[in-house]
Structure 1
């Protein structure tokens, strides 16, 4: 991981990213992996990770890929999420990558896995480029 990503990860700790508890695991061109150590406040009343935590993780991972290019500024336009399984303990990982880019939008994909590699959720997102 480059020092620019170390700095980005440090700065993010004071934002919503840090409040939730995400950690940057790996950053490469057009793809990243982030993690989250599950804590009690990430769970819903059924004792499993809240769907909103999954969606936040997916959106943050996809958005982080876009930050690989500091000249690009985007906002989430749409996100389609599929919940496949649940988890209540351990660490979860989210891998995101750039799928397609035009002059106005960028399309991303992301998937969340548990520690054993089981797919828990996946999403696609469209991000609008700001001028």
Structure 2
């Protein structure tokens, strides 16, 4: 996919993410438009908790990351950091793929609010959340 048309830094971010926690988990970019990003993860045994379902932290990572990427796309000249993350776990899963879509809810001068939905291969809702990101304006040197 050619995501550079949406955001000039995205290809670089994708490459850089491979060596971070994102890459360690096995997260992947699926699709990006100006209004929505989709990311996914093939669920492996090491993603599960002790009762055999997807660990809540994996949900949180995918949802927070997808929403953060949308905030970055919305404010390309600045940096953003998560200030609030609210998650709702709806249904368990232990196999297959988790697919997360995120979109912008509201943008102000200093904050970006987003929402995201995590679904399985069949489209069943697994978790959803909202996030608020603080805009950190870059200083010219």
Number of residues paired by the alignment?
131
In the aligned structure 2, how far is the partner of 1:76 from the partner of 1:30? Answer: 19
Coordinate RMSD, CA, aligned = 1.2
Give the one of 108, 116, 122 matched to 1:110: 116
In the aligned structure 1, how far is the partner of 2:34 from the partner of 2:78? Answer: 14
Q: Does 1:63 align with 2:68?
A: yes
5+ long unaligned stretches in structure 2: none
Which piece of structure 1 moves more, 69-78 or 42-51? 69-78
5+ long unaligned stretches in structure 1: none
1:122 paired residue number = 128
SS at match of 2:11: helix
SS at match of 2:92: coil
1:72 paired residue number = 78
In the aligned structure 2, how far is the partner of 1:16 from the partner of 1:71? Answer: 24
Kindly indicate whether the alpha-carbon contact (under 8 Å) linking 1:30 and 1:66 is maintained by their aligned counterparts in 2.
Answer: no
1:42 paired residue number = 47
Provide, for residues 27-69 of structure 1, a one-character-per-residue CA deviation record: whole Å limited to 9, x for no partner: 1113100000001110000000001110111000001112224
Q: Does 1:9 align with 2:10?
A: no
In the aligned structure 1, how far is the partner of 2:128 from the partner of 2:80? Answer: 21
Give runs of ≥4 in structure 1 deviating > 2 Å. 1-8
1:98 paired residue number = 104
Kindly indicate whether the alpha-carbon contact (under 8 Å) linking 1:73 and 1:130 is maintained by their aligned counterparts in 2.
Answer: yes
SS at match of 1:116: coil
In the aligned structure 2, how far is the partner of 1:39 from the partner of 1:70? Answer: 33
TM-score by length of 2: 0.88
